[in-house]
A and B are shown apart, each in its own frame.
Chain A
Amino acid sequence: MRKKAEIRKTFREIRKNKACYAMLAPFMILFILFTVIPVVMSIPIGFTDFNMVQKPEFVGLSNFRTLFLSDKVFMGSIRVTIVFALLTGPVSYVLCFLIAWLINGMPRHLRTIFTLIFYIPSLAAVYTVWQLIFSGDMNGYLNSFLIDLGIINAPVQWLTDGRYVLGVTVVVQLWISLGAGFLALRAGFQNIDPVLYEAGAIEGIRNKWQELIYIVIPSMTPQLMFAAVMQIVSSFTAGTVAQNLVGFPSTDYKAHTVMTHAYDYGWERYEMGYASAICMILFIIMFFLSRLIAKGLKKIAG
């Protein structure tokens, strides 16, 4: 009986808030169609064999078994993704923080100019110029520069030599990585109440490092979290930059990320079940990592 009354109450609440649902509807319909359904659908599809033409066929854990036990390229791509994410994620995060902090200490007009300079590479996909910088012939800017200095005497194949492709991709990814997260941190610094610094000074804070640990980080935890999420997403799902820069597939799969692998199976071979399984693994990694960072930040912020 009580349950029934509760259900009726909920219905009454829903009817009372009709206007809320109506205003939410345009966004929610598109959001459900193009984000929620794809995400939810990828879970069952990951357990099937599906080529977009025939009906999906349930194959149990077979996709995952293949991935972990016999797909050598996938295991390689996990390694590449982790190395790539470790090289770009934390470095870019620290850079975002450091640059935002230093910019905040500048006079007003310089702040505007510096913000623009650091943000501009992430505005549009203009990294094709790096192809000219890293070009493998003598006309490549880096090659001609290094030859000029006498460091090398023959041009290096930056974009096709297996030893360099990952490094090149990391550099370019770092270059374009100061995006929304960077802006959030910039804003976070600007938003700290100056009174806090004064209070800190009275409490005996004597240098910039102490100020950073006792005042800045605790009052910026939410922005730090937002930037962390942005950083995780961009460093783990990177793949387009590598594909456009060092080719697809890259030499010896040296810059082949999990995302590239999913692209390979989804777009090139139409094995949607397999591609979904790959994406699912990637998402699980990202989800737990963001939880972990949230916990860590909470601990630091006390």
Chain B
Amino acid sequence: MSADIKKLRESNRPAGRKYGGTALSFVFLSILGLFMIFPIYLTVVMAVKPVEELFVFPPKLYAIRPTLDNFRDMFAAVRQNRVPFSRYVFNSVFVTVSVTAAQCVFASMAAFVLAKCKFPGSRIINGIIVTSLLYQSSVIYIMQYMVMAKLRIIDSPLALILPAAASPMGVFLMRQSISQIPDSVLDAAKVDGAGLFRICWQIVIPNQKPALMTLMIFAFQAAWNIQGSGVIFREQYKTLPAAVAQVSSSGMARAGVAMAASVFMLVPPAVVFILAQRYVIETMAHSGIRD
């Protein structure tokens, strides 16, 4: 019997998963990949180029004498703003950690309840969350500003943290993943007398590592990129991206410094993504929207 299936599989080889095109698609992906990676490569090269090489014609695709001067200048450049560079780094880390932690905790609980409990209003809330995926953007920026003004949190770190702490996409992804857990597991826990809160944190969430990691990556990425232009005016509350934007907009002579700042922005989320990408792919498999 099993031999038969094997034979059948072999006879269908050309129609199965293995096609002759693997090498061809490798070439195609590599060429496209080079285009994708080239600007990143250039960013790194420019970041280690000494200033005098910036004006060499034709521009070189590599640094003749690589140096870390630009990184040093970057720290010095923003220091002129009366706030040391480390302050921006601290602000960004503080905002990123708070947002990521809050998103994970809040979204886990909300997603668990929405996936596994039926109560008045649960269907409407689910619907609103799916619709609000369309709103994940600057469309509501202006109105958000007014809410923040009413709450008197403009120009304080809360203006950066609170709006980002509740992400409908996070809840959506978690909910899709949690709903794959069979109800019988939860019923067993209920029989044992566990409350919802305990079921959530002791049984469900520990089994949601992939989804939680995905949520963490997206939260980390979003929070790390929060610029807060328009809601933060005091220099000591500005984040790293805001400082980077200030450096970047000061022309060619500063190009090296701007690129050094870009590298500084890119490395942390890249590292987090590399470490957790396996989990991300696992979770995104349940990301689909069923109508």
Q: What is the interface of chain A, defined by CB distance below 8 A to chain B?
A: 10, 13-14, 16-17, 19-21, 23-24, 26-28, 30-31, 33-39, 41-42, 45, 52, 99, 102-103, 105-106, 110, 112, 114-121, 123-133, 135, 137-141, 144-145, 147-148, 175, 178, 180, 183-184, 186-188, 190-191, 194, 197-198, 200-202, 205-208, 211, 220-226, 229-230, 232-234, 237, 239-240, 244, 259, 262-263, 266-267, 272, 275-276, 279, 282-283, 286-287, 290, 294, 298
Closest to A31 in B: B166
Q: Contact residue range for chain B? A: 35 or more
Contact A121 B281 (CB under 8 A): no
Q: Would A267 and B230 be within 8 Å (CB), given that A117-B36, A128-B258 are in contact? A: yes
Residue B224, interface by CB 8 Å:
yes
A257–B287 alpha-carbon span in the complex (Å): 30
Contacts of A282 in B (CB 8 A): 139
Contact A197 B285 (CB under 8 A): no
If over half of A's interface residues share one DSSP class (helix, strand or loop), that class is named, otherwise mixed; here it is helix
Closest to B35 in A: A175
Q: Which of B65-73, B80-88, B194-202 contacts A (4 or more CB under 8 A)?
A: B194-202
Contacts of B2 in A (CB 8 A): none
Contact B128 A36 (CB under 8 A): yes
The 8 A-B residue pairs whose C-beta atoms are closest, nearest first, are A222-B288, A38-B143, A30-B166, A187-B284, A17-B119, A27-B110, A187-B285, A201-B12
Binary CB contact string for chain B from 246 to 273 against chain A (1 if under 8 A, 0 otherwise): 0010001001001100100110011001
A220–B266 alpha-carbon span in the complex (Å): 31
Contact B133 A279 (CB under 8 A): no
Of A141, A191, A239, the contact of B42 (CB 8 Å cutoff): A141
Q: Give the number of residue pairs across the A-B interface with Cβ within 8 Å.
A: 300
A234–B21 alpha-carbon span in the complex (Å): 32
A237–B140 alpha-carbon span in the complex (Å): 11
Contact A106 B43 (CB under 8 A): no
A201–B11 alpha-carbon span in the complex (Å): 10
Residue B3, interface by CB 8 Å:
no
